Structures are given as C-alpha cells and as structure tokens.
C-alpha cells in the first residue's frame, strides 16, 4: 500500500491517543479486533459532571488501522462525525483495508453502547 | 524531505555506475543482434555477449559454455525444475525441495504434478537449515532433482550445499541451487561443489533487472534439460529468444566487479550488519532474530519487533526502505510463507523487518536506521493496548 499524505499525518501524529487513569470515574471502554488479522483497537470515552466528552484510543495494527482510529476520533471530538467510508476515501484506502480501518468505529460503538 | 536510506538490497540493488557505463554502448551504437552472422553489428554484439558469459562464468569458477542467459533467476529456476523433470521423466519423475524456497521454485511444483510428476516439500529447523536426514530419506531412485537455495532471500540463511550435494551424488540425483542472493556475496566455486544447476540474477548484484543465468554442469556429464521456451534456438536451444545484449553485458560487468571486490565488500557489510544487530538489540527490548546467525549472508538481518505491526513501522518511519514479512505489506495479503515454515508464530511474522545491506550502505545509514527503528518501535508499542514488555 502506498500511504497518502493525509494518512501519514495521522499515523505519525495520532490525535486522541492514550487512555485514562485506571479506575477513573465516568469512563467507558470498547474494544474491537480484526477477523482476518490480529489488529486491535481500544476506545476509551469519558464523560465528566458537566457532560463534556473526552475520547482516547490505543491500537495495535497496520497504518490504515492506526490512522483511521485517529481520524475517526478527531472528527468525533470536533463534533463533526465522519463515516469510515469517508475516512477511507480521504486516505485513498484499498478495499481490503476497510476492515482494519473500521475497527475504531466498532470499538467506539461498544464504548458508547451505540448500536449500528 | 529527508534522504531515503535504502536497506532493501535483497529485493534489488542499484545498478553500479560502472555497470551502467559498460551497458551504454549496447543500448546505443552497438545495438546489433548477437545472432546476426552476416555483418559487423552482429559480430560485435556476439563478442560482447560471449565476453559477458565468460565474466559470469568466472564468478562461480565455471566454463563460459555452461552459462545459459535468461531473463532472471525466476526463469532460470523454472528451466532447472521443469527442464530437468521433462528431460528425465520416463526414468525419474520426483522432485524434492524445501518449504522455505522462493516462489519461483515452489510454484513450479503444481506444474510438475500437472505433468504427472511427484513432489516432496521438506520442512526446515527453526534455524532455517535443511534437515540432512530428512533430505536423505526423501531422495529415491525415482528422484530427478533436489532444489535448495544457497542463501535465503528473506532471512539470509546459507544452506549446507556441500552436504546436500553429496547426498544427491550418492543417489544419482541432480542438485539445483538458486544462488540469486548468494552469488557475489559468498564464494561459490562450482568446480569444488557437488552442484549441477545454479540460478543467478544480475539485479541482486548491482546489475540490471531482466538479466539472469542458469549454470548447467557439462563435466563430467552434461545435465540434460528440456527447454521451456521455443523458437530461434538461442542459448544452446535452452532459451529461445533474442539475447538481451545490454542485459548480458551489464550482468558480466556486475559479476566482474563482484569477483574483484566481493570478499572485501562482504567483510565490510558483515561488520555493519553486526553493528545493526547490536544497536537494535540494545535499543529495542525483546527483539527476535529469525534464522541462524552463524550460517548467514553477511548483508542480511531479519528480525521481529514484538508488539509492533511491521507495515505500520515502515510507513511510520518513512525514510527507511526496508521490507516486512507482514501480510499487510505484501501484495498477496498473506504473511511470509517462509517465515511460517521456519515455525515463526504468525503474530511475530507480522512484526518482521528485513534489512538487506549493500555496496552503497554506509555506517551513518546503519546508525540512523537503529535510531529511527528504535524510536518508532517505542512509539508504536506505547500505543498498543496489549503490549506488556
């Protein structure tokens, strides 16, 4: 795969990377693993007393997996959610990378208890 | 933009400037067809091809007429396997090889089966070396050929050609070795080795892509091969088609340079490779080396960085040109079958990085490679929720 500049930017400077302190109040975590490969994305969502939302992610995976997690959560944070299809188009991902790219969305849905 | 550091010399090597200079006339004024017998253009091309043939032969201590020019090692491997099988099939119809061989050997096997032959594919030890007892047990009086590569294209492991060839000699079996990665880097003297067929590639030794050769033993007994391409009967009828004069000339020049500087170059590259290994071991905790370190090409290092996806690391680093056995970095989307045949866990194969040093690799390149691999490995491990050092 030949990564484009947008993907490389997210891969090298991931947004919303990290986790919250163990046992911190108001944190919900969701996880997703690849079926065809062992990619793993964990999304942590924290809601504080005022209802403000903070999201973080951790990931083990290929460039498409990591960069898509970063882009997806950046969009969520800015109140401007993007679909995986939109992100994949921005990154010019090949069809077979959609599974890796989509893990963040699954993990996000699990963390926020949002059915598809 | 940072300068790119090229450490993928097992994939291909840059053309040596001296090789390019030698090739230029054959691409311009000396354009003749080496098979044209009626004018000076043809004679000149013929002489250039024959001089190149002698240079390629000299690199492995062979006689020039035993060299059959091909388009590369893939074609040479195909000709060795299919050609030897077809020539002997009424008496011997069985081919033996290893699970770690290059696809240009392994993918001949279904074709041999389709033509009514039988094949045996043997495993290797965790060090990547052939099991001599298993090879001995696999060779029968129906075996026509054993094919084992001299140096592995991924993990650089050197097979015991002498011992393998002796097993073949005892049983009247031809021994073919794919020396695409080995030639020019380790000494290969066919007069002193019990080998019968050797595949060579120009672009792995600072020559042009599209040029290769199959060495076919003539003495004491000529190895019989059936051609795999048909037409003008060039290359002693074994490889029809107009000879690529510029390619052959470049291959010859590359071979001559390797013969002159190969030993010194290999010593220098082994030093740099060891420096790379020490540097990575110190800076990347948990590093795993694939294959034997003792029996190995001087310019190869193949490691895994557990907890990191190889493709993500390579894309992340950017300035290093390396390859990975990771499924995500291959066109086939499958992890390296050679690494899996070594018994490497698929997850670890995913984290693999192949370093191939070359003639133009400097000590500064190695220092920088250690620095950036260590930095990005640490960064990617830190974002892996499952990584526990």
Across-strand partners of A44? Answer: A29, A56
Give B246→chain A minimum CA distance, Å: 32
Q: What is the CA radius of gyration of chain A?
A: 14
Residue of A nearest to B311 (CA): A62
Query: Does B386 lie at the interface with A, CB-CB under 8 angstroms?
Result: yes
Give B60→chain A minimum CA distance, Å: 38
> Between the CA of residue B169 and those of B92, B98, B135, what are the distances in Å?
15, 18, 13
Per-residue model confidence (pLDDT) at position B2: 61
Q: Note if B168 is an active site residue.
A: no
Q: What is the CA radius of gyration of chain B?
A: 21
Query: Does A43 lie at the interface with B, CB-CB under 8 angstroms?
Result: no
Query: Cβ–Cβ of B383/A66 closer than 8 Å?
Result: yes
Instruction: Write out the two tokens for B166.
Output: 């002796």
Query: Cβ–Cβ of B316/A12 closer than 8 Å?
Result: yes
Query: Does A11 lie at the interface with B, CB-CB under 8 angstroms?
Result: yes
* CA–CA distance, B330 with B196 (Å, rounded to integer): 33
Q: Do strands B300-304 and B118-122 pair parallel, antiparallel, or not at all (unpaired)?
A: unpaired
Which residues are CB-neighbours of B51 under 8 A, at least 6 positions away? B249, B252
Give A49→chain B minimum CA distance, Å: 27
Per-residue model confidence (pLDDT) at position B325: 78
* CA–CA distance, B124 with B33 (Å, rounded to integer): 45
* CA–CA distance, B79 with B239 (Å, rounded to integer): 9
Per-residue model confidence (pLDDT) at position B327: 67
**Would you tell me how many other CB atoms lie within 10 Å of the CB of residue B150?**
23
Instruction: Write out the two tokens for B267.
Output: 């010593």
Nearest in space to B59 (alpha carbons), one of B193, B170, B220, B187:
B187
Query: Does A19 lie at the interface with B, CB-CB under 8 angstroms?
Result: yes
Query: Does A58 lie at the interface with B, CB-CB under 8 angstroms?
Result: yes
Nearest to B315 among A59, A63, A96 (CB): A63
B140, B89 contact by CB (below 8 A)? no
Per-residue model confidence (pLDDT) at position B346: 87
DSSP B185: T
ipTM over 0.90 threshold: yes
* CA–CA distance, B60 with B189 (Å, rounded to integer): 5
Instruction: Write out the two tokens for B266.
Output: 């290999």
For residue B350, the chain A residues in CB contact (below 8 A) are 37-38
Per-residue model confidence (pLDDT) at position B335: 81
Give per-10-residue mean pLDDT for chain B (389 aa): 86 98 96 96 98 98 98 98 98 98 97 98 97 98 98 97 97 98 97 97 98 97 96 97 98 98 97 98 97 97 96 93 78 80 91 97 98 97 92
Tell whether the torsion through CA atoms of B285, B123, B160 and B260 is positive or negative: negative
Per-residue model confidence (pLDDT) at position B333: 63
pTM above 0.90, yes or no: yes
Per-residue model confidence (pLDDT) at position A38: 84
For residue B309, the chain A residues in CB contact (below 8 A) are 39, 60-63, 65
Across-strand partners of B356? Answer: B8, B300
Nearest in space to B382 (alpha carbons), one of B248, B285, B289, B300:
B285
> Between the CA of residue A88 and those of A61, A101, B172, what are the distances in Å?
16, 7, 58
Sheet-wide strand order for B118-122: B67-70, B212-216, B197-201, B174-178, B143-147, B94-98, B118-122
For residue A4, the chain B residues in CB contact (below 8 A) are none
Residue of B nearest to A65 (CA): B312
B234, B240 contact by CB (below 8 A)? yes
Low-confidence stretches of chain A (pLDDT < 50) are none
Nearest in space to B342 (alpha carbons), one of B156, B183, B199:
B156
Which residues are CB-neighbours of A34 under 8 A, at least 6 positions away? A40, A61, A65, A99, A100, A103
Nearest in space to B258 (alpha carbons), one of B159, B181, B365, B355:
B181
Backbone angles phi, psi at B147, to 5 degrees: -120, 115
Query: Does A17 lie at the interface with B, CB-CB under 8 angstroms?
Result: yes
Nearest in space to B204 (alpha carbons), one of B6, B75, B358:
B358
Nearest to B328 among A17, A42, A62 (CB): A62
Picking from A17, A37, A42 by the largest number of B CB atoms within 10 A of its own CB, the best residue to mutate is A37
Instruction: Write out the two tokens for B46.
Output: 């013929």
Per-residue model confidence (pLDDT) at position B127: 96
Nearest in space to B154 (alpha carbons), one of B4, B340, B315, B285:
B340
């Amino acid at each position: 795969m030949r990564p484009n500049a947008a993907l490389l930017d997210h891969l090298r400077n991931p947004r919303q990377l990290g986790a919250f302190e163990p046992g911190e109040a108001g944190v919900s975590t969701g996880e997703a693993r690849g079926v065809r490969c062992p990619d793993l994305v964990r999304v942590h969502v924290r809601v504080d007393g005022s209802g403000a939302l903070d999201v973080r992610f951790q990931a083990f995976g290929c460039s498409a997996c990591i960069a898509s997690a970063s882009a997806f959560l950046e969009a969520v944070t800015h109140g401007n959610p993007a679909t995986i299809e939109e992100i994949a188009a921005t990154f010019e991902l090949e069809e077979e990378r959609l599974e890796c790219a989509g893990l963040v969305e699954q993990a996000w849905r699990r963390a926020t208890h949002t059915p598809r | 933009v940072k300068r790119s550091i090229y450490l993928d010399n097992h994939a291909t090597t840059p053309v040596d400037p001296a090789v390019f200079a030698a090739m230029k006339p054959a691409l311009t004024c000396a354009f003749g067809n080496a098979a044209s017998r009626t004018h000076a253009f043809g004679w000149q091309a013929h002489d250039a091809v024959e001089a190149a043939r002698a240079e390629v032969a000299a690199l492995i201590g062979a006689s020039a007429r035993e060299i059959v020019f091909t388009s590369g090692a893939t074609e040479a491997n195909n000709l060795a396997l299919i050609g030897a099988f077809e020539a002997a099939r009424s008496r011997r119809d069985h081919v033996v090889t290893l699970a770690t061989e290059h696809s240009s050997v392994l993918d001949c096997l279904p074709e041999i089966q389709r033509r009514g032959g039988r094949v045996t594919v043997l495993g290797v030890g965790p060090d990547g070396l052939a099991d001599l007892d298993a090879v001995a047990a696999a060779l029968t009086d129906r075996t026509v050929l054993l094919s084992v590569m001299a140096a592995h294209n991924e993990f650089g492991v050197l097979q015991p050609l002498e011992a393998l060839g002796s097993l073949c000699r005892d049983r009247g079996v031809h021994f073919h070795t794919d020396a695409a990665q080995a030639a020019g880097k380790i000494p290969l003297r066919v007069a002193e080795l019990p080998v019968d067929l050797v595949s060579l590639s120009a672009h792995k030794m600072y020559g042009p892509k599209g040029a290769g050769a199959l060495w076919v033993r003539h003495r004491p007994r000529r190895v019989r091969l059936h051609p795999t391409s048909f037409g003008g009967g060039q290359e002693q009828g074994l490889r029809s088609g107009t000879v690529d004069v510029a390619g052959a000339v470049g291959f010859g020049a590359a071979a001559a340079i390797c013969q002159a500087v190969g030993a010194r170059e290999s010593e220098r590259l082994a030093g740099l490779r060891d420096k790379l290994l020490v540097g990575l071991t110190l800076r990347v905790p948990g590093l795993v080396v694939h294959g034997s370190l003792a029996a190995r090409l001087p310019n190869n290092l193949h490691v895994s960085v557990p907890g990191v996806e190889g493709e993500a690391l390579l894309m992340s680093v950017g300035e290093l040109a390396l390859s990975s056995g990771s499924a995500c970095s291959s066109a086939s989307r499958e992890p390296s079958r050679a690494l899996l045949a070594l018994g490497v866990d698929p997850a670890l194969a995913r984290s693999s990085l192949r370093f191939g040093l070359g003639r133009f690799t400097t000590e500064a390149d190695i220092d920088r490679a250690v620095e950036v691999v260590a930095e990005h490995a640490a960064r990617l491990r830190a974002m892996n929720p499952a990584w526990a050092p």
